């Protein structure tokens, strides 16, 4: 098969998936004249899975009439995968409710971040797949970790860069003391201070079980979502789910976001090209109303390149085993996708490469490993230094 026909064979599943996604987001009926063939349906389902939108698109697929519906085997697989996503979301919500009640008994407020919090923006919250439960405790993370260990016997891991981790009912939880990895860039350190200031004044909450849980303020949410998505993009791991998150977040909060601050932050951190591209993809392919967002500069060539990277083969593949193989893989990936890094950072590529190399060295050379581990433990306990 020649390259042109390969491209054509991939184009239809991608275009069909984007269309189904728009129908799911805005509650529109599917008006296809004819259905895809069985092989295309399989590819659509697989692509929806890698992009994190299986359950969301199922909301439309399950209602398709017989002549437009996928084959029975595909429907069963799709329904099974959706049910699995729903069940995991339900388990995570029970975990959130248990944690919130525990912290509330000790007078500690809890804010829900990222996936589980964003799922509440979806028409069907359980159709937003979530990995970890991410929380922030308004600066009381060290005390809260100690309480969990003392009262519930939970082991808390302090080996991560900007949060501690533990498992509750087999659900992984990330308890953030920083929102961003402040060790990776000066821009993150500047933005972290602003995020902390904004987070102290939450405007939204919901009830988990019988306990109020806070959600991030709109401007915080916009800045955090943008920086988080940019980080994933630079690491070759963004997907349609990130675009859906941004679209739904903006639709529900556009009139309460300080867009002047968001635009200024995008400029000052070097994210302006990524920010514009993200907005363009959401408008063109997900149907985000451009009237809800500030005007932005269009770059059709770069936007098409972003979409190709997003919908192409997953680039955040597993890192090979072995130190040398892992280093070689990271270097090749870094060089191949350096254009993505230029879109999300104002840091010169050479400096970014040196910073990445230095951080990697400190994580693996015995001389630095113990010092780094001690530093993380100090930060996790809220001790400066």
What's the rounded mean pLDDT across residues 66-81? 95
Which of 33-47, 114-128, 312-326 has the least mean pLDDT? 312-326
Do residues 253 and 279 share a domain? yes
Lowest mean pLDDT among 14-18, 27-31, 64-68, 231-235: 231-235
Tokens of residue 75, six digits: 């429907």
Looking at per-residue confidence, does 128 or 33 come out higher? 128
* Domain count along the chain: 3
Q: What is the pLDDT averaged over residues 109-130? A: 95
Span 103-117, average pLDDT: 95
Single residue among 172, 196, 216 that ends a domain in this structure: 216
Whether 376 has a pLDDT exceeding 60, the answer reads no
- DSSP secondary structure of 304-318: HHHHHHHHSS-S-PP
Both 133 and 149 in one domain: the answer is yes
Same domain for 11 and 38, yes or no, is: yes
Same domain flag for 234 and 333: yes
What pLDDT is recorded for position 365?
A: 57
Region 191-197: mean pLDDT is: 94
Question: How far is the C-alpha of 371 from the C-alpha of 62, rounded, in Å?
Answer: 54
Judge contact between 131 and 85, C-beta under 8 A. no
Look at 335 and 305; give whichever has higher pLDDT.
Answer: 305
Examine the domain organization and report whether 228 and 341 are in the same domain: yes
CA 370 from chain center: how many Å?
A: 31
Do both 231 and 210 map to the same domain? no
Residues 248 and 181 in one domain: no
| Same domain, residue pair 208 and 232 | no
Range of the domain at 228: 217-347
270 and 231 Cβ atoms separated by less than 8 Å: no
Residues 105 and 205 occupy one common structural domain: yes
Q: Which residues contact 259 (CB under 8 A, 6 or more apart)?
A: 293, 294
Residues 6+ apart with CB under 8 A from 153: none
pLDDT over 70 (residue 379) = no
User: Does 48 map to a domain?
Assistant: yes
Residue 139 belongs to domain with CATH number: 3.30.460
Q: Same domain for 274 and 174?
A: no
pLDDT one-digit tens code per residue, 139-169: 999 999 999 999 999 999 988 878 999 999 9
Closest to 100 (Cα-Cα) out of 215, 216, 221, 210: 210
pLDDT digits over 239-257, tens only?
999 999 999 999 999 999 9
What per-residue confidence (pLDDT) applies to 10?
73
Within this chain, do residues 210 and 258 fall inside the same structural domain, yes or no?
no
């Amino acid at each position: 098969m020649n390259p042109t026909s390969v491209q054509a064979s991939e184009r239809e599943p991608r275009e069909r998936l984007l269309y189904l996604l728009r129908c799911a987001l805005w509650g529109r009926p599917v008006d296809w004249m004819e259905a895809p063939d069985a092989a295309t349906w399989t590819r659509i389902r697989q692509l929806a899975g890698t992009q994190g939108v299986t359950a969301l698109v199922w909301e439309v697929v399950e209602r398709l009439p017989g002549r437009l519906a996928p084959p029975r085997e595909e429907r069963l697989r799709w329904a099974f995968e959706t049910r699995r996503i729903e069940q995991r979301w339900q388990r995570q919500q029970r975990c959130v409710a248990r944690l919130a009640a525990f912290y509330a008994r000790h007078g500690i407020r809890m804010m829900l971040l990222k996936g589980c919090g964003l799922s509440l923006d979806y028409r069907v919250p359980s159709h937003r797949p979530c990995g970890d439960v991410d929380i922030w405790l308004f600066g009381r993370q060290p005390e809260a970790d100690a309480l969990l260990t003392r009262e519930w016997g939970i082991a808390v891991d302090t080996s991560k860069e900007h949060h501690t981790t533990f498992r509750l009912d087999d659900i992984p939880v990330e308890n953030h003391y920083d929102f961003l990895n402040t060790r990776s860039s000066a821009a993150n350190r500047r933005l972290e201070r602003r995020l902390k200031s904004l987070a102290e004044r939450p405007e939204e909450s919901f009830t988990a079980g019988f306990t109020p849980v806070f959600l991030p303020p709109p401007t915080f949410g916009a800045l955090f979502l943008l920086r988080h998505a940019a980080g994933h993009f630079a690491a070759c791991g963004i997907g349609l789910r990130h675009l859906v998150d941004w679209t739904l977040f903006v639709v529900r909060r556009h009139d309460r976001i300080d867009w002047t601050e968001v635009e200024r932050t995008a400029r000052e951190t070097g994210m302006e090209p990524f920010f514009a591209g993200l907005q363009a993809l959401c408008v063109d392919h997900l149907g985000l109303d451009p009237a809800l967002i500030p005007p932005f500069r269009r770059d059709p060539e770069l936007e098409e390149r972003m979409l190709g990277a997003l919908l192409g083969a997953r680039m955040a593949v597993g890192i090979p085993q072995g130190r040398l193989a892992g280093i070689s893989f990271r270097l090749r990936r870094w060089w191949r996708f350096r254009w993505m890094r230029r879109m999300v950072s104002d840091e010169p590529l050479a400096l970014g490469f040196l910073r990445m190399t230095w951080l990697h060295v400190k994580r693996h050379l015995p001389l630095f490993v113990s010092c780094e581990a001690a530093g993380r433990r100090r930060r996790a306990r809220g001790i400066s230094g």
